[in-house]
């Protein structure tokens, strides 16, 4: 099942809306353009194809008699079980990637994932800001790849579509959930829902630091109850004080090609404390 076309179309619509409403004005540096542009070009054309071949080969090697073995299973239950399995595995893989900031044994995993967090902004282009080797280590690719081999290609495609579209919602600059969360009548109900599903505000928090920023919280893509169960849930009051990674900024080539390229980072201009952006709702 081809999924990249629909995802690309929805991404383009949201991106155009963000651009027309001024959400991308003056936020990019040369390094950002290089990272986003090369990642958006090379990941779909090269990396995902190579990762797909690797996963297909591994499935055939490990399960030589398993090709199409689950094709007889009905679509809806297969989709739901696969979705839950992917979300559970991604939660832990994502959490371990962030724990690599403190655990030397996982440092390599954090450096691969770090690319996605190094942008000092939040919009749909951040979904394209992904290190070229992430597809080789992310549990989503392996689980859905094995599902395709076992005969559940349609279910796997639907899971990928669901996750990608939810990613677009939670990465978008538009924060429709802020007003609902603060509403005197519906706010409490919405916060209850945020114990089950990840909202844009919750994922923005995951990409931020300072007040209402917590990159060590909200690891799930869709199901917030995983964060609730494992003690990593954070429901924000507003936008984070800053987006990105505090401290040294990774070199653009290392962001894209690590571990093949390793270049010492450079100090950020934002290294010193600055007042918050007046367009953001959080207070420093």
HEC string of 137-148? Answer: HCHHHHHHHHHH
Residue among 35, 107, 40, 42 at smallest CA distance from 255: 35
Question: Cα(113)–Cα(137) distance, rounded to whole angstroms?
Answer: 10
CA 223-227-229 angle, to 5 degrees, is 105
pLDDT in tens, the chain (284 residues): 456 677 788 899 999 999 999 999 999 999 999 999 999 999 999 999 999 999 999 999 999 999 999 999 999 999 999 999 999 999 999 999 999 999 999 999 999 999 999 999 999 999 999 999 999 999 999 999 999 999 999 999 999 999 999 999 999 999 889 889 989 999 999 999 999 999 999 999 999 999 889 899 999 999 999 999 999 999 998 889 999 999 888 899 999 999 999 997 776 554 443 334 433 333 22
How much is the CA Rg of the chain, to the nearest whole Å? 19
pTM here is: 0.90
**Distance separating alpha carbons of residues 109 and 201, to the nearest angstrom:** 25
Tokens at 92, concatenated: 């832990």
Helix (H) or strand (E) holding 83: helix 75-99
């Amino acid at each position: 099942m081809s999924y990249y076309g629909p995802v690309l179309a929805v991404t383009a619509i949201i991106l155009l809306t963000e651009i027309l409403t001024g959400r991308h004005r003056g936020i990019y540096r040369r390094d950002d353009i290089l990272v986003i542009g090369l990642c958006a070009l090379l990941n779909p054309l090269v990396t995902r194809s190579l990762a797909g071949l690797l996963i297909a080969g591994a499935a055939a090697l490990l399960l030589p008699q398993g090709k199409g073995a689950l094709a007889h299973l009905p679509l809806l239950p297969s989709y739901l079980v696969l979705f839950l399995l992917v979300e559970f595995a991604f939660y832990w893989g994502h959490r371990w990637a962030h724990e690599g900031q403190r655990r030397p044994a996982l440092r390599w995993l954090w450096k691969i994932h770090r690319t996605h967090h190094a942008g000092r902004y939040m919009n749909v282009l951040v979904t394209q800001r992904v290190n070229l080797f992430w597809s080789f280590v992310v549990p989503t690719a392996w689980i859905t790849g094995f599902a395709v081999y076992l005969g559940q290609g349609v279910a796997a495609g639907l899971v990928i579509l669901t996750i990608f579209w939810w990613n677009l919602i939670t990465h978008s600059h538009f924060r429709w959930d802020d007003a609902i969360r603060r509403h005197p009548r519906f706010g409490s109900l919405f916060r209850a829902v945020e114990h089950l599903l990840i909202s844009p505000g919750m994922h923005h928090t995951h990409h931020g630091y300072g007040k209402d920023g917590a990159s060590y919280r909200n690891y799930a893509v869709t199901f917030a109850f995983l964060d609730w169960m494992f003690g990593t849930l954070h429901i924000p009051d507003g936008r984070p004080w800053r987006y990105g990674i505090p401290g040294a900024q990774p070199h653009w080539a290392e962001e894209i090609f690590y571990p093949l390229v390793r270049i010492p980072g450079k100090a950020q201009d934002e290294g010193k404390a600055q007042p918050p952006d007046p367009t953001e709702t959080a207070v420093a």
